[in-house]
Amino acid sequence: MIIDVHGHYTTAPRQLREWRARQIESAGRPFTEPLSISDDEIRETIENGQLRLQRDRGTDVALFSPTAGGMGHHFGDARTSIQWSRTVNDLVHRVCTMFPDNFIGVCQLPQSPGVSPTECIAELDRCVNELGFVGCNLNPDPTDGYWTDPPLTDHWWYGLYERMVELEVPAMVHVSMSCNPNFHGTGAHYLNGDTTAFMQFLLSDLFRDFPTLRFVLPHGGGAVPFHWGRYRGIAQDMGRPPLEELLLGNLYFDTCVYHQEGIDFLVKVMGAPNVVFASEMIGAVRGVDERTGRYFDDTKPYVDAVPGITEAEKRRIFQDNALEAYPRLQSRLGVAPA
Amino acid sequence: MIIDVHGHYTTAPRQLREWRARQIESAGRPFTEPLSISDDEIRETIENGQLRLQRDRGTDVALFSPTAGGMGHHFGDARTSIQWSRTVNDLVHRVCTMFPDNFIGVCQLPQSPGVSPTECIAELDRCVNELGFVGCNLNPDPTDGYWTDPPLTDHWWYGLYERMVELEVPAMVHVSMSCNPNFHGTGAHYLNGDTTAFMQFLLSDLFRDFPTLRFVLPHGGGAVPFHWGRYRGIAQDMGRPPLEELLLGNLYFDTCVYHQEGIDFLVKVMGAPNVVFASEMIGAVRGVDERTGRYFDDTKPYVDAVPGITEAEKRRIFQDNALEAYPRLQSRLGVAPA
C-alpha cells in the first residue's frame, strides 16, 4: 500500500476562498455566514484533481488536510482561527467521507499569535474523535513570517503535546503563508520552517519529556539532510546526545523533494527508517519537468529509482513509516507495519 | 592554488569582545576608547589557529573577515555599526598585513536596521581602496532575526550594489547572530538566510539590472541544492527564465557543507562552475568527526574525494571560481583563471 502523508485540499471550490475573504474583512464584527458548497462541486474538484493524480501515479491513499498556506493564523484573533479551522476541517471531512478509500483527514489547528496552543485542543479532539482524523498540522510560526511566538520546544506548547500523545496523533510541522516580504512562501518560508524546527528539537529534551511524540518534517526537512554533517558536529560540540538517540526516533522526513538526485540523497543520508512518502500534491510545484516528462511533484518514481533501494526499504517509506507515525491509520486501513 | 573564500577571525584576542561589550553598553553616550591589542597577541591567535589549520590542511590562502556572528547589526544605531565595523575591519587588516601570503581581507559592512545601505559605501571604499580588501559580507537581515528590512532585491539596496560593481567586489550573503529565540544562529538562521536570499534572487531581475554583480551563498546555499527541482519547478510555474540564465552566472555556492555525501551532492547538482571552495574555519563546527577522524570543517578532502571529479573541476572549485567571483584577487595573487 502506498500512503501519501502530505496532501492538501488546494483545489477547493472558489466559495471557500470567498467565504474566508469575507470572514477576514468582518474583523471583529459577528460573521455567521455558513459556507455553501455542494457535494457535486466537491466531487468535481477531487475527481479532476487529487483523485485523478492519485490514480495516474499509482498511489493508494493520501492524508488530506486544508491548504497549509491558507491557514493564515495571523489573521484576526483566536476566534477567527477557530471559526476558520472548524469550517475548513469540516470541508476536508466531507471529502474524506465521500472518498473514504482515498483520503483520510489531517486537521488544521486554530492557532493564533500569542495565544496558548492549549486553545487548539478542543478542535483537535473534535477532529480526531468525531471526524476520524489521524493527525494535525502544527504551525511553528503563527505570525506567518515574523517568528515572535516561543520555539516549539518551549513549555508553551506542552499542553497540546500532552493531548497529542494521549490521542496518538502526530503533527506535521508546517508553516503557513508568509506575510513577510523577505520570505517567499513555498520557496523560502516553508523550507526555513522545517530547518528551524529541526534545530529547535536538537537543542531540547522535548523527546525525553514526550518519548512517543512524533513529528513529520515536510519538504524533506528543509536544509537538514544536506547539512547532516553540520548538525552532527553542532550536537557533538554542544555535548548533546547522538542525533539517532536524541531525535531520530521521533522524526520523519517526507519525500516532497522534487528531483531524483534529492530523493537519492535523502534516502542515503537519513535512511529508510526516517523517510516517509509524500508528494504535497496538488501544491507548491504544479508543472511538468521537461527533463523527465513527469510532474515535478510525482515523487513515487523518484523513490522507485533510488539506486540500490530494497523492497523492504520501499515498504517502510511507502507504508510502514506512515503507519508508525500515524498509529490511528492502522485500524483505519486494516494494515499493520511489518 | 587553493583559495578558501570563507574564513572569519573568530579567534581574536578577548580584548575585542570586551571592547565591543563596552561599546554596546555605552549606548548613546560617547565611546572613544581605542582597541588595544598587540601584534604578538594577534600573531599567537593566528599561528595557533587559522594559520596552523591552513598548513595542516594544505590550503594556501583564505579570504578573511570579521566573525559573521559578531557583526550584530541590530545593536545600537548606525554610528555604533560604523565604529564597530571600522574597528574590526582594521583588526582583520592587521592580520592580513602580518600574514600577507595567507590572508586577504573581506570586510564587514556597517549596516543598521532601517538605515539605507548606501551608508555602508564609505566603509566599503575605505576597505577596498585603502586596505586592499577584495570583498564584503552583506547581511540580508540587519535586525538579526526579525527580517523587517526590505528584501535584497529591493531598490533599497541598489546604491550599494552600484558601488560594488564599480569596485569589482562581490558580497558573501551572510547573516549575523540571531537574537530571535526561534532561530539558532549557525544551525538555523545561517541556513535560512542563504535559502531566503536565493529565493529573493529567483523572483527578481536583479542580475539583469546588474549583470556583473556577484554573490557567494555560504554553507552550500542553505537548502537550495537539496531542493533544486523545487526551484526549477517554481521558476517554471511563474514563467521565470531558466535558473541557469536567470542567476547562475552571478551566484556561487560555497563548500561549507560538513560531510562527504553533502559535498558529493553539491558538486553533482550545482556543477563545478558554481561551487567555490570554503571551510568557514574556525567557525560553526569545531570538532572532529569520529566517522572520518578529521575535522568536520576540513572540507578539502571531501572535494578531493567527490566520485569522478576531474582535475579541471577541482581547479575551478579550488581556484578559478574564486578568482572569477573576486576579480581583485587576480592581481593580488598574480594568477588568472584558466
Q: Find all residues with CB under 8 Å of A142, minimum gap 6, and list them.
A: A73, A74, A111, A112, A113, A115, A149
Can you give the pLDDT at residue A136? 98
Give DSSP secondary structure letters for B129-162: IIT---EEEE-S-TTSSS--SPPTTSGGGHHHHH
Q: For residue A306, what pLDDT is reported?
A: 98
List, as ranges, residues 31-60 from B with C-beta within 8 Å of A. Answer: none
CA distance B334 to chain A (A): 34
What does DSSP say about strands B3-8 and A294-295: parallel, antiparallel, or unpaired? Answer: unpaired
Q: Is A269 helix (H, G, I), strand (E, B) or coil?
A: helix
Euclidean distance between CA atoms B106 and A228, whole angstroms = 28
> What was the pLDDT predicted at B283?
85
DSSP character string of B212-272: T--EEESGGGTTTGGGHHHHHHHHHHTTPPPHHHHTTTTEEEE----SHHHHHHHHHHH-G
Backbone angles phi, psi at B119, to 5 degrees: -65, -10
Nearest 5°: the CA angle B196, A306, B241 is 40
For B184, which of A203, A228, A236 is closest by C-beta distance?
Answer: A203
**8 A C-beta contact, residue A111 and residue A82:** no
User: Residue B89's closest CA among B73, B103, B69, B109?
Assistant: B109
Q: Which amino acid is at A35?
A: L
CB neighbours (10 Å) of residue A312?
11
Active-site residue identified among A123, A280, A313, A324: A280
pLDDT in tens, chain A (338 residues): 999 999 999 999 999 999 999 999 998 889 999 999 999 999 999 999 999 999 999 999 999 999 999 999 999 999 999 999 999 999 999 999 999 999 999 999 999 999 999 999 999 999 999 999 999 999 999 999 999 999 999 999 999 999 999 999 999 999 999 999 999 999 999 999 999 999 999 999 999 999 999 999 999 999 999 999 999 999 999 999 999 999 999 999 999 999 999 999 999 999 999 999 999 989 889 999 999 999 999 999 999 999 999 999 999 999 999 999 999 999 999 999 98
Strands (DSSP E) contained in chain B are 3-8, 61-65, 103-108, 135-138, 171-173, 215-217, 251-254, 275-276, 288-289, 294-295
Task: Kindly state the helix (H) or strand (E) to which residue A253 belongs, with its residue range.
Answer: strand A251-254
Q: Indicate the residue type of A331.
A: S
Question: How many CB atoms are closer than 10 A to CB B44?
Answer: 13
Residues of A in Cβ contact (< 8 Å) with B268: 261
- The pLDDT of residue B281 is 87
Name beta bridge partners: B183: none
The contacts of residue B120 (CB under 8 Å, 6+ apart) are B109, B110, B111, B160
Residue type, B98: M
Q: Among A313, A109, A321, which residue's Cα sits nearest to residue A215?
A: A321
Q: Hey, is the C-beta of B139 within 8 angstroms of any chain A C-beta? A: no
Contact B195 A195 (CB under 8 A): yes
Length in residues, chain A = 338
Closest CA to A217 of A202, A195, A234: A195
Predicted ipTM?
A: 0.97
Q: Which of B224, B334, B320 is nearest to B5 (CA)?
A: B320
Q: Is the peptide bond before A282 cis (omega within 30 degrees of 0)?
A: yes
C-alpha cell at B85: 565595523
Which of B150, B225, B258 lies closest to A230 in CB terms?
B258
Tell me what pLDDT residue A331 has.
Answer: 93
- Which residues does A314 contact at the CB level (< 8 Å), separation at least 6? A272, A303, A304
B244/B231 Cα distance (integer angstroms): 11
* CB contact residues (below 8 A), chain A span 202-231, against chain B: 202-203, 219-220, 222-223, 225-231
CA–CA dist A160, A168 (Å, integer): 12
* Widest CA span in chain A: 60
Give the nearest chain A residue to B237 (CA atoms): A287
Minimal CA separation from A256 to chain B, in Å = 9
Q: Are A284 and B234 in contact (CB under 8 A)?
A: yes
Q: Is this model's pTM higher than 0.95 or not?
A: yes
**pLDDT (tens digit, 0 to 9) for every residue of chain B, 338 residues total?**
999 999 999 999 999 999 999 999 998 889 999 999 999 999 999 999 999 999 999 999 999 999 999 999 999 999 999 999 999 999 999 999 999 999 999 999 999 999 999 999 999 999 999 999 999 999 999 999 999 999 999 999 999 999 999 999 999 999 999 999 999 999 999 999 999 999 999 999 999 999 999 999 999 999 999 999 999 999 999 999 999 999 999 999 999 999 999 999 999 999 999 999 999 989 889 999 999 999 999 999 999 999 999 999 999 999 999 999 999 999 999 999 88
Q: What is the DSSP letter of A116?
A: -
Check the CA dihedral B141-B147-B151-B154 and report its sign.
Answer: negative
Which one of A10, A152, A191, A231 would you mutate to disrupt binding with B, by most B Cβ within 10 Å of its Cβ? A191
